[in-house]
Amino acid sequence: MDPFLDRLEEAASVLDLGCGTGRDSARIAERGFAVDATDGIPAMVAKANERHNVGARLMRFDELHAVAEYDAVWAHASLLHCPRSELPGILARVHRALRPRGWHYASYKLGDGEGRDLLGRLHNFPTAAWLIQTYRSADFAIENKVMFAGNGSDGTMRDWLAITVRKA
């Protein structure tokens, strides 16, 4: 996270899209950035506020209506829950929410098509090539991409892609 945050100007505005329990939002705030912590699950919003007091609010991905409001959008292991068919539209919303030359980070479990993990949660499981093309089609410039192996919440080892892009 810190290498991503190091790219931002002092006091930048960051949307944590899918903040979960709020750990990342707390770090963003600790670094001095204005964080808007959001999650689409009421229980996660409650946990984020209970654990980290980050002022998290309820918002699904498709409810992002901001226009040029954020310097960065952080979406660590959250957009992977977006149905694959909806991801291009969500990325268009992220693009619109960013100020000119704004930054976006997201990480995805890779695979060969949409499905559910062992906990029953929907994942889009894209290929790296499909994901990169989808970001380019949404008018993002790819700044960095890192593939790595890691465990998901369900304990399954998978390949992941972490992608950092900039609004073109």
- Residue-wise pLDDT tens digits, 86-97: 999 999 999 999
Q: How confident is the model at residue 153 (pLDDT cuts 50, 70, 90)?
A: confident
Q: How many C-beta atoms surround the C-beta of residue 46 within 10 A?
A: 15
Q: Rounded to whole angstroms, how far apart are CA atoms 111 and 153? A: 16
Assign domain 7-167 to its CATH superfamily: Vaccinia Virus protein VP39 (3.40.50.150)
Q: Which of 66, 60, 108 is nearest to 84 (CA)?
A: 108
Residues 6+ apart with CB under 8 A from 128: 110, 145, 147, 161
The pLDDT assigned to 16 comes to 98
Please state the pTM of the whole predicted model: 0.97
CB 120 within 8 A of CB 113: no
- Main-chain phi, psi angles of 2, to 5 degrees: -60, -40
The pLDDT assigned to 20 comes to 97
Q: Rounded to whole angstroms, how far apart are CA atoms 160 and 99? A: 27
Asked if residue 168 has pLDDT above 90, the reply is no
The number of CA neighbours under 13 Å toward the Cβ of 126 is: 25
The pLDDT assigned to 67 comes to 98
